[in-house]
Amino acid sequence: MTPSSEIANRYDANAARYDDATRYNRDAARRLVASLPAGRYPRLLDVGCGTGFASEAMIERFRPTSITGVDISREMLERMRSKLAGLPDIALEFHVADVLSMPVPDGAFDCVLASMALHWFASRDLALAAMARAVATGGVLGVVAPGPGHDREYVEVLRTIVPPVPSPVIDIFATAQVFPDPVEDAIAASGLEVLDVWVESRHRRVPPDRYMERITTVGSHVWSTIMGPDESAAMVDRITAAVRHASGPRGFEYTFTKTYAVARRPTG
């Protein structure tokens, strides 16, 4: 697993292009928020918040009165702060912190969300337990992360490249998969009532360079720890050429699978 400091450094460096490169992550956040039970969630904790996709979706549907964002990337938090700072009647608080060290009180939030972040946490079970502790009585926890077999077409392309790309560049796609059963077990073990856990897949076609923009924006920390900038650039060029070669008239075809989970702290 890449050290959290290197993940933070690379997300800091890529913060300016994150929203455009990962626009489908906004759709995932909206899908997650749309799946929450109807109710009032005035106090929101957004864990691994990035630039605030999940918080924006919560504002659209539930209009929270306070939002606490936690992320290890200071630049991503600054992007989120800039987006939300002008909104009236919403108190904002931000913490540069890991999920296991976030300075938030137990039981203080009506909704805790982690949108496209769980797969980067060193221990998913401990991360889910930490997030669950922050959920108030009657509050909810919502999670979305890459699911089984995500980006499998890209992995197949990587395996064809000669000379081979380093194994961590390929293996990260297996490591980042979040399976529904372990998530459900960890949430249940944390004392929350699991309302739903499910997997959704989307088959997409995008221009190959657009696809590679996402890969390099969210994954550059994978290779920045094992090679220098020149070697990294040469490898990305070789991968981009292979993705272009694998593309058809309608672009590069790939499947992105997401695992979702929604749970609640019982009121009894």
CATH number at residue 248: 3.40.50.150
Is residue 80 a contact partner of residue 97, using CB atoms and an 8 Å limit?
Answer: no
Task: Check whether 222 has a pLDDT greater than 60.
Answer: yes
- Say how many CA atoms lie within 13 Å of 59 toward its Cβ: 19
Mean pLDDT in residue range 47-61: 97
Domain total in the chain:
1
Task: Check whether 161 has a pLDDT greater than 70.
Answer: yes
Predicted confidence at residue 87, as pLDDT, reads: 87
Task: Decide: helix, strand or coil at residue 74.
Answer: helix
- Residue 12 belongs to domain spanning: 4-264
Predicted confidence at residue 91, as pLDDT, reads: 95
E runs forming strands in the chain: 43-47, 66-71, 91-96, 109-115, 135-146, 193-206, 252-264
- pTM for this structure? 0.95
What's the mean pLDDT when you consider all of the chain? 95
